[in-house]
Amino acid sequence: DTGVSQNPRHKITKRGQNVTFRCDPISEHNRLYWYRQTLGQGPEFLTYFQNEAQLEKSRLLSDRFSAERPKGSFSTLEIQRTEQGDSAMYLCASSLLSVGQFFGPGTRLTVL
């Protein structure tokens, strides 16, 4: 399968714990994006990378969120001190330059 992959698919954590998600983009894609989606809404942009450089960050990305793409390939999204409001589907997408973003299956986070 050469699509975008995300791990884990589901994560249940207690409030206050840290969580980390991983995204592996389509291999030749140089851009990687993170979105968050809550029930009944469309995805909301969080941040994106071109190669290893983080080029844009949304105001939704609070200080507790950090994303990295150290070698321009896979990326991680970490949430520190999780809150119940962080419960959502976290989606990763990739693209070749700005042409059409392809999404992974998402990581469903539940904060108890």
Q: Which is nearer to other proteins, 35 or 65 (CB)?
A: 35
Q: Which is nearer to other proteins, 2 or 98 (CB)?
A: 98
What is the rounded distance in angstroms from the CA atom of residue 104 to the CA atom of residue 89? 11
- Is 2 a binding residue for other proteins by CB under 8 A? The answer is no
Query: Smallest gap, in angstroms, from Cβ of residue 110 to other proteins?
Result: 13
Query: Smallest gap, in angstroms, from Cβ of residue 16 to other proteins?
Result: 27
Assess contact for 23 and 107: CB atoms under 8 A.
no
User: What is the C-alpha radius of gyration for the chain, rounded to an integer number of angstroms?
Assistant: 13
- Is 104 a binding residue for other proteins by CB under 8 A? The answer is yes
Residues 34-93 that bind other proteins (CB under 8 A): 35, 40-45, 48, 50, 55-56, 58, 91, 93
Q: What is the dihedral angle through the alpha carbons of 60, 61, 65, 68, rounded to the nearest 10 degrees? A: 140
- Is 101 a binding residue for other proteins by CB under 8 A? The answer is yes
Q: What are phi and psi of 85, to 5 degrees?
A: -70, -10
Residues that bind other proteins (CB under 8 A): 4, 6, 31, 33, 35, 40-45, 48, 50, 55-56, 58, 91, 93, 98-106, 108
